[in-house]
């Protein structure tokens, strides 16, 4: 379990999180996402609750770029809208199998990119989307938090499409519940 302290308010304690724990938490999110993606079938692939919401495949495509693009922005301190747009354009053409392969590559990506960061880098302040963060809190709150939020969306979509066998084990551990 991730045991990071991030400054949510001015004057709070500085960033403190062993890199290995942060990498492990992001890799666990990748594992859960891959597990949930393996449950997507023809009836759930294009499911969307309402016309203006993303479909299952659109969420997976988004998650194939969200973490890596946000981590690149974190490291540089600047969100690159052109790079995001180019990555999104490619992602929108991916099949489910290609999305799964792309997401699978994120485990190594996080290990390399976060592993390269010095401990002091996580305490460096950045401004992103009109708010100030430390790089560490941005990674935890927007990337790690984004994974948890959007994988939950995919889980709910799968349940709405009749995957009644899915349980909290699938959502939080990335594994099927043991047979009863």
- 0.85 exceeded by the pTM? yes
Domain at 19-122+130-171, CATH class: mainly alpha
Cα–Cα dist 71/36, whole Å: 23
Of 39, 31, 33, which Cα lies nearest the Cα of 60?
A: 33
Q: What tens-digit pLDDT sequence spans the chain (180 residues)?
A: 444 544 444 444 444 568 899 999 999 999 999 999 999 999 999 999 999 999 999 999 999 999 999 999 999 999 999 999 999 999 999 999 999 999 999 999 999 999 999 999 999 999 999 999 999 999 999 999 999 999 999 999 999 999 999 999 999 999 999 888
**Which tokens is 88 given?**
């999104």
């Amino acid at each position: 379990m991730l045991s990071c302290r991030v400054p949510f308010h001015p004057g709070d304690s500085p960033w403190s999180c062993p890199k290995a724990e942060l990498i492990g938490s992001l890799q666990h999110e990748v594992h859960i996402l891959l597990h949930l993606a393996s449950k997507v079938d023809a009836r759930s692939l294009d499911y969307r609750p309402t016309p203006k919401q993303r479909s299952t495949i659109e969420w997976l495509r988004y998650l194939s770029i969200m973490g890596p693009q946000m981590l690149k922005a974190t490291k540089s301190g600047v969100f690159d809208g052109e790079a995001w747009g180019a990555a999104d354009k490619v992602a929108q053409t991916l099949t489910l199998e290609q999305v799964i392969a792309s997401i699978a590559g994120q485990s190594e990506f996080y290990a390399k990119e976060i592993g390269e960061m010095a401990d002091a880098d996580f305490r460096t302040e950045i401004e992103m989307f009109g708010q100030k963060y430390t790089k560490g809190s941005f990674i935890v709150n927007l990337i790690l938090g984004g994974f948890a939020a959007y994988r939950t969306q995919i889980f709910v979509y799968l349940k709405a499409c009749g995957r009644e066998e899915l349980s909290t084990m699938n959502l939080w551990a990335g594994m099927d519940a043991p047979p009863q």
